[in-house]
Amino acid sequence: MSSYKDLGVRRVVNGQFPITRLGGSVIPKEVLDAMEESTNNWCGIWELEEKVGNAIARICSAEAAHVTSGSFAALVLSAAACIAGKDPEKMRRLPYADGMKNEIIIQRNLRGAHAGEPGMYDRSMEVPGGKFVEVGHEVWGARPKDLEVAIGDKTAAIHFMVPDYPDSRSDIIPLEEIIEIGHKHGVPIIVDAAGQTYPIELLSRFTKMGADLVCYAAKYVQGANSAGWVCGKKDLIETVSLHSFIGQEAGSYDPRPGFYRSVGRGYKLDRQEIVGTLAALQRWVKMDHNKERIDPARQKIKRLQDSLSDVQNLSFSIWPEDLVDGIGYHQLGLRVTFEKKTATEAVNLNHKLRDGDPSIWLYHHGGNSLDINALYLANGDEKIISNGIKRLLDE
């Protein structure tokens, strides 16, 4: 296999996040070993999904689980399951859902990755024919009665995207209330919990509340960028599996290939990704996060600050300010403020760092500061960042 160097591809110093455009997470050796072992032998994917799903379900306090090609695909399949169920005639019609229950209720101020942004990930549920019914105000939020009034004979599900800091939002209907209202009317709840993997209690929090389908991304447990899982109620997970790429091939429910004509055919997984997702999750819940992630990040922060301490007109603070169990939402790092520079100059500095080789990716969240997430820095990357900042300030 050609290396980055042979291809002329620059290595990235990741001071941001396990973002998709940087390939997600760095996969640990134990996970890679499990994936490599599975690549040497075939197996039945239906059986593999069932056994892996059972193991994931135990970790997530769910009745069942199914590995998917990322949390976006998990939402696609969850919506399809709620719209068409196990009816093969309805399944083959998707995404044309006329005459089916295909309305998905969503709080307007929870659209997309952050409140107020256009829908980015929730549009996944439109892929199999879902139609959104938005409730509430984009700024002031929704009330429980807004949700209840929106439920009708076309309602297939209620969607809830968990905010980065779910306990800090007073402008949304809490998930507990949504579950209570939805279940009173026989409506399932689909939760987008893609990155809600730390503290590890979040892996089972939403299923314990009673959510029907909860979707996660494997990159947030140091698994493959191309994988994720959905866990929840057994009957719905069985339905999700029929809508998945192996549903097209039929499975334990029916031996006739192609019978279900699943809309999820394009969301394929290798057996290595399925095995790797479980291996990553098992490792994640057993990990000493302080020893393996938080303490090393704090050491990198200290070395970074020490190496920049002789530069004039710089000030430092821990970022982000709101930490839970010693960490933010997959973030723990250093905010460097350039006291003699404008916001525009800070942006330009950030662009120049990214244009270098290696390419240094930091955050600019506004003002004259740059934020450096230390959780995903390799050993020695903090020195590369400090040298890069010094070099550009000397120009």
Stretch 9-27: mean pLDDT: 95
Give the pLDDT score at 254.
Answer: 64
Angle, helices 45-59 vs 271-286, to 10°: value is 20
Burial letters 108-122, b for 16+ CB under 10 A, else e: bbbbebebeeebebb
Percent of the chain at pLDDT > 90 equals: 83
Kindly indicate the confidence band of residue 116, based on its pLDDT and cuts at 50, 70 and 90.
Answer: very low
Checking if the pLDDT of 2 tops 70, the result is no
Q: Which residue has the higher pLDDT, 252 or 43?
A: 43
Give the pLDDT score at 115.
Answer: 44
Please write the tens of the pLDDT for every residue from 163-190: 876 666 778 899 999 999 999 999 999 9
Please write the tens of the pLDDT for every residue from 340-367: 999 999 999 999 999 999 999 999 999 9
User: Which 3 state secondary structure label does DSSP give 70?
Assistant: coil
Checking if the pLDDT of 72 tops 90, the result is yes
Stretch 23-46: mean pLDDT: 94
Stretch 274-296: mean pLDDT: 97
Please write the tens of the pLDDT for every residue from 203-258: 999 999 999 999 999 999 999 999 999 999 999 999 999 999 998 776 665 667 76
Checking if the pLDDT of 38 tops 80, the result is yes
319 pairs with which residues across the strands?
333
Structural domains in the chain, CATH included, are 4-20+288-394 (3.90.1150.180), 42-286 (3.40.640.10)
Stretch 256-279: mean pLDDT: 90
Checking if the pLDDT of 113 tops 50, the result is no
- Determine contact, residues 34/380, Cβ cutoff 8 Å: no
User: Which 3 state secondary structure label does DSSP give 100?
Assistant: coil
Q: Which residue has the higher pLDDT, 80 or 326?
A: 80
Q: Which residue has the higher pLDDT, 112 or 395?
A: 395
Checking if the pLDDT of 4 tops 80, the result is yes
Q: What is the DSSP string of 139-207?
A: TTB--HHHHHHH--TTEEEEEEEPPSSGGG-SSS--HHHHHHHHHHTT--EEEE-TT--SSTTHHHHHH
Checking if the pLDDT of 100 tops 70, the result is yes
In whole angstroms, what is the distance from residue 379 CA to residue 223 CA? 20
Give the pLDDT score at 165.
Answer: 67
Prior bond of 166 cis (ω within 30°): no
Please write the tens of the pLDDT for every residue from 308-349: 999 999 999 999 988 888 888 999 999 999 999 999 999 999
